[in-house]
């Protein structure tokens, strides 16, 4: 049996066209972008063209685009800079953010640098915008709002414009972890009130270890890595040349094919939902599955029984790759903080299915049939 990969929110395979674009920069075009001879200048040109391309796709200015090592670094940088350089003394976030956000916020709080408030969630896992406005409007200190665009475990999507408007109204700094949406959503940053967004190439058929930090040009922060002055003095260190080429190429491809791919992937998500309901009536779903939700993610629960207890393991030995929630906790099996915050039901086993354009309905049929035999 071939492997069935339904864990695309954890990571994706690299698109062959992305690999083709990267390859020359791993071989003959290996120059250091800071070198002044032609090899170096060619590499510099490639990095800057990638930056321009990414900026154009996101409707941002190239000077607002910084390449990093991934989503984690980008969120750490944005949140820390908002406190250190922009005077934010109060962070408003949610209990269902990725650990790249939560652990950064908790560290800053432990150092006595900020006060942290967690916005209330609605029953379907969405952020309660009324509660958010109450919190922002009643704070006497400069606020950083950090809320993710699409939740990586349940798929719920934030109304980024509504939150941006609130931040604008109360003059708050706004960071959004957009790791699950860059490459899967058409951003229009010039017309969105947001100061920082993040991205990670491996979530949209690009390479691992390269990310994006968008910093709105209206704000100025200090360098977060000191050294040779790369990335316009913001993040020193020789650029991840082939990674940056791969990031831009993957974003170009995902944007070019957005309409057809997003439609196709959404069809897979809905198909799996329907097939599960038909075949395993005890299944339930987390989040706003058919509403404001990432088209890539379907979060399910199965009642905890002797059989379902070993579900992930049994799927694994049948070559089916899914995850219990997020894959970001280095394989840790302790309960997900997201599921604890939204339903806190220890009698359920949560399985996240997340899809890419490479998946098929036939694979879904095979997985549902296998689930039926396991459960
Ligand atoms: N934020 C979200 C929502 C994610 O899903 C992930 C990755 O799993 C990250 C941040 C971290 O990104 P990276 O793996 O590029 O550091």
Mutate to test the pocket of ligand 1, among 73, 156, 179, 185 (most ligand atoms within 8 A of CB): 179
Q: pLDDT tens digits, residue range 108-157?
A: 999 999 999 999 999 999 999 999 999 999 999 999 999 999 999 999 99
Per-residue pLDDT band at 307 (split at 50, 70, 90): confident
Q: What pLDDT band is residue 334 in, cutting at 50, 70 and 90?
A: low
Residue bearing the CA closest to ligand 1, atom 2: 179
Do residues 173 and 221 touch, judged by C-beta distance below 8 A? no
DSSP 3-state assignment of 20? helix
Question: Up-side HSE of residue 57: CA atoms within 13 Å toward CB?
Answer: 26
Residue nearest to atom 12 of ligand 1 (CA): 71
Tens of pLDDT, residue by residue over 262-295, are 999 999 999 999 999 999 999 999 999 999 999 9
Which single residue is written with the structure tokens 């408007």?
Answer: 165
What contacts 361, CB < 8 A, 6 or more positions away?
Answer: 268, 271
- The pLDDT value recorded for residue 328 is 44
Would the pTM count as exceeding 0.75? Answer: yes
Q: How far apart are CA 136 and CA 166, in angstroms?
A: 8
Ligand 1 proximity of 70 Cβ (cutoff 6 Å): yes
Tokens 């154009």 correspond to 56
Count H helices and E strands in the chain, helices first: 11, 12
In the 8-state DSSP scheme, what is residue 259? H
The arithmetic mean of pLDDT across residues 15-38, rounded, is 96
Residue 96 CB less than 6 A away from ligand 1: no
Ligand 1 within 6 A of 180 CB? Answer: yes
Q: What tokens were used for 39?
A: 């090899």
328 catalytic residue (yes or no): yes
Ligand 1 atom 4: residue of nearest CA: 179
In short, whether 211's Cβ falls inside 6 Å of ligand 1 is yes
C-alpha 40/C-alpha 24 separation (Å) is 14
Evaluate the CA torsion angle 174, 175, 180, 185 in order and state its sign: positive
Residue of 348, 316, 17, 73 lying closest to 199 (CA atoms): 73
Percent of the chain with pLDDT over 90: 92
Q: What are phi and psi of 96, to 5 degrees?
A: -110, 20
Q: Report the residue among 11, 100, 177, 204 best suited for mutation to probe ligand 1: largest number of ligand atoms under 8 A from its CB.
A: 100
What is the rounded CA–CA span in Å between residue 117 and residue 127?
A: 13
What is the C-alpha to C-alpha distance for residues 139 and 129, in angstroms, rounded to an integer?
15
């Amino acid at each position: 049996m071939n492997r069935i990969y339904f864990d695309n929110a954890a990571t994706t395979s690299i698109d062959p066209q992305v690999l083709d674009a990267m390859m020359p920069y791993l071989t003959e075009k290996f120059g250091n972008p800071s070198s002044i001879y032609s090899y170096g200048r060619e590499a510099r040109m490639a990095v800057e063209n990638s930056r321009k391309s990414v900026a154009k796709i996101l409707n941002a200015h190239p000077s607002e685009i910084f390449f990093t090592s991934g989503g984690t670094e980008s969120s750490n940088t944005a949140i820390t800079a908002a406190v250190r350089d922009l005077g934010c003394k109060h962070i408003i976030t949610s209990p269902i953010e990725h650990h790249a956000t939560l652990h950064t916020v908790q560290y800053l709080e432990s150092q006595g640098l900020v006060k942290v408030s967690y916005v209330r969630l609605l029953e379907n896992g969405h952020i309660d915008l009324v509660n958010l406005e109450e919190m922002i409007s009643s704070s006497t200190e400069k606020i950083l709002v950090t809320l993710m665009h699409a939740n990586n475990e349940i798929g719920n999507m934030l109304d980024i414009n509504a939150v941006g408007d609130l931040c604008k109204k109360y003059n708050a700094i706004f960071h959004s972890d957009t790791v699950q949406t860059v490459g899967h959503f058409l951003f229009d940053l010039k017309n969105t009130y947001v100061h920082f967004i993040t991205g990670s190439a491996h979530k949209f058929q690009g390479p691992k270890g390269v990310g994006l930090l968008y910093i709105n040009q209206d704000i100025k922060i200090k360098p977060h890595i000191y050294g040779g002055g790369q990335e316009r003095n913001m993040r020193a260190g020789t650029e991840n040349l082939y990674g940056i080429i791969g990031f831009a190429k993957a974003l170009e491809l995902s944007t070019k094919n957005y309409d057809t791919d997003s439609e196709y992937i959404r069809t897979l998500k809905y198909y799996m939902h329907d097939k599960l309901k038909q075949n395993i009536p005890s299944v339930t779903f987390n989040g706003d599955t058919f509403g404001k939700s990432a088209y890539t993610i379907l979060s399910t629960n199965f009642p905890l029984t002797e059989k379902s207890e070993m579900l992930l393991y049994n799927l694994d030995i049948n070559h089916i790759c899914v995850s219990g929630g997020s894959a970001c906790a280095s394989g840790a099996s302790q309960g997900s903080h997201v599921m604890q915050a939204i339903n806190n039901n220890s009698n359920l086993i949560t399985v996240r299915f997340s899809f890419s354009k490479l998946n098929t309905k036939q694979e879904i049929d095979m997985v549902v049939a296998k689930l039926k035999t396991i459960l």
